Amino acid sequence: MNTDQSPKALTELSLTDKMLAFAIKQQKLIIGLVVLICVAGGSYFLWMQKTTADENNASLALAKVTAWIQTGDLARSVDGEGSTKGLKGIVSSYSGTPSGNMARLYLATIYFTSNKPDEALVMYNAFTSPNKDLQASAQAGAASCHVQKKAFAEAAAGYEKASATAENEALKAMYLNKAAESLVAAGSPDKAAKLFDEIVNKWPGTSFAGVAQRSLWRLSGEGVQGTKP
């Protein structure tokens, strides 16, 4: 998705497209919080029906927070101001509501982009969604935190889990490619080669098949067994 699109254009997308765009933006590690709000925030309130007073309160609080995020006021977004709850307060007070759950994802993204991988991990791991592609994006977000911590073996396992969870083939290929890259960084190029080969064979029509094939050629040049020159 072109990040130069206006919020109005983004809100005209289907719900599935919005969730998928959110996942892709996040895992490329170039997500900005304004884009996050445009892609995920507006659509989320259409995704789940508001059935409780807590959800009504949580959604109102989250709407106020998104306004702060859009202006770049991340400190207030996280901690709130006066009687207005920030993301931490929404998660704490309304953890069982859809909006409280979404606040976790916002908070995880802020923590991650602020180089706080441990805090981000807690939020990513607590996020749940019936949308498998969105759930996979949170799993891959957790894996990205392990990359920040240079725990590449853990990152590889997390990305593999995200690939297995996702339904969209492009996301499956992307996450498995990241798992393979993490295995290379972890010093396990043989295992990485197997994943790159799997991507090429399972999802040949995706752009990540080409990325994986180039990685296989590079590994072959480095003498990794099981790769074709």
pLDDT band at 146 (very low <50, low <70, confident <90, very high): very high
Q: Are 174 and 208 in contact (CB under 8 A)?
A: yes
The predicted model scores a pTM of 0.74
**Closest Cα partner for 4 from 44, 47, 35?**
35
Tens digit of each residue's pLDDT (9 = 90 or more) over 22-42:
444 444 433 344 444 444 444
Strand partners, 81: 84
Half-sphere exposure of 81 (CA within 13 A, CB side): 9
Report the sign of the C-alpha dihedral through residues 92, 94, 97, 98, in that order: negative
What is the Cα–Cα distance from 147 to 165, expressed in whole angstroms? 20
Question: 17 is written with which tokens?
Answer: 């497209």
- Say which residue, 61 or 3, is predicted with more confidence: 61
Strand partners, 78: none
Phi, psi of 81 (to 5 degrees): -150, 125
- Which alpha helices (H) appear in 31-131, and where do they start and end? 33-36, 42-47, 53-70, 74-79, 87-93, 98-113, 117-126
User: What is the model's pLDDT at position 173?
Assistant: 95
Tens digit of each residue's pLDDT (9 = 90 or more) over 193-222:
999 999 999 999 889 999 999 999 999 888
What does the domain layout of the chain look like in residue ranges? 1-128
DSSP count for the chain of H helices, then E strands: 14, 0
Tens digit of each residue's pLDDT (9 = 90 or more) over 52-103:
788 888 988 998 898 888 888 889 999 998 888 999 999 999 988 888 988 9
